[in-house]
Amino acid sequence: MSLVVTGSIGIDDVKTPYGQVEGVLGGSVVYFALSAALLSEVRVVGAVGEDFPSNFRSVLEQRRIDLRGLETRKGSRTFRWAGRYESDLGEAQTTHVDLNVLAEAPPPIPSSYQDSKFVFLAATHPDLQRDLAQRFTAAELVVCDTRDLWLNNEKEAFIKLLNQVSAVVLNDHEASLFTDQTDLIRAGRRILEYGPRFAIVKKGQHGAMLVTSDRIVALPSFPTDKVKDPTGAGDSFAGGLMGYLAGRGRFELDDLPRAMACGTVVASFAIEDFSTKALEDVTPARLEDRLDQYVAMLKLD
């Protein structure tokens, strides 16, 4: 079943306690697509400027990633982001942003994407996400992410978006901010009141929690002490999650725990090196192997 992702493709500068890099490949679409492609084909919608390096494009080209929706816009420049992490490797602090092409008109959606059944709307202005959601008329599962920026400044627009999507994937801080609830189960249930069938709260090193109308599933992260750069962990989680669902071909709520496990394990690779370096070296076989370890760790009977 066809999976499509919309969002940012960027060039990043990142500093963590384990080093720093400049001018590296980044953006939510990139992390999502590299992750999802381990489990399914994935279609990309995004725009870059003329300055986008060809070797960055090559990283995406060598996989099951459909780049017909990747627009290289003449006269524009690629989105740039710079951020740093403190020693606890928690939320990134953004030190610099140049929206560049992201501040212009959104890229066109290829007609060949019209039959997409699984849609992931990475974080951007919720009105733009809602517009995108409406354009995938054949979609069966539309999942959105968001950022605290939009919850602070565009809460009403986000509420309208929630009414248009099947689900939301967001981090614990954002779930609490939106619902004014520190308890994440209550926060998740509050989100469901706005329309989604399920919410997944990402808790970074503490794993993720699924909230549906009648079920809560909490899963830990895959234990690793090899973290170098948490950038893209959330988008890699979403990519593994939706790649698994798309690979199955149809969606049932019962598939979500296993899908979350895939997301968790893919994210555990993503954070092992800067930018997409670790993710580029993952094969479906390595993913399967670590997934087996994760499933075995949680087998208690």
Q: By C-beta, is 170 or 208 nearer to a second copy? A: 208
CA pair distance 276, 43, nearest whole angstrom: 18
- Amino acid 170 reads L
Report in angstroms how near the CB of residue 12 gets to a second copy at its nearest: 23
Q: Which CA distances in Å does 279 have to 56, 61, 236, 270, 286?
A: 14, 14, 9, 5, 11
Report in angstroms how near the CB of residue 163 gets to a second copy at its nearest: 24
Which strand (E) or helix (H) includes residue 216?
strand 216-219
CA pair distance 96, 178, nearest whole angstrom: 25
Report in angstroms how near the CB of residue 106 gets to a second copy at its nearest: 37
Report in angstroms how near the CB of residue 113 gets to a second copy at its nearest: 31
Q: By C-beta, is 99 or 297 nearer to a second copy? A: 297
The count of other CB atoms within 10 Å of the CB of residue 239 is: 35
The count of other CB atoms within 10 Å of the CB of residue 54 is: 8
* CB-based contacts of 79, cutoff 8 Å, min separation 6: 8, 9, 10, 11, 27, 48, 98, 99, 100, 101, 102
Q: By C-beta, is 192 or 217 nearer to a second copy? A: 217
Report in angstroms how near the CB of residue 223 gets to a second copy at its nearest: 4
Q: By C-beta, is 156 or 225 nearer to a second copy? A: 225
Q: Which residues bind a second copy (CB under 8 A)?
A: 87-89, 182-183, 185-186, 189, 203, 206-207, 209, 216-225, 227, 257-258, 261, 294-295, 297-301
Q: By C-beta, is 193 or 225 nearer to a second copy? A: 225
Report in angstroms how near the CB of residue 294 gets to a second copy at its nearest: 8
**Radius of gyration (Cα) for the chain, nearest Å?**
18
236, 266 in Cβ contact below 8 A? yes
Q: By C-beta, is 5 or 227 nearer to a second copy? A: 227
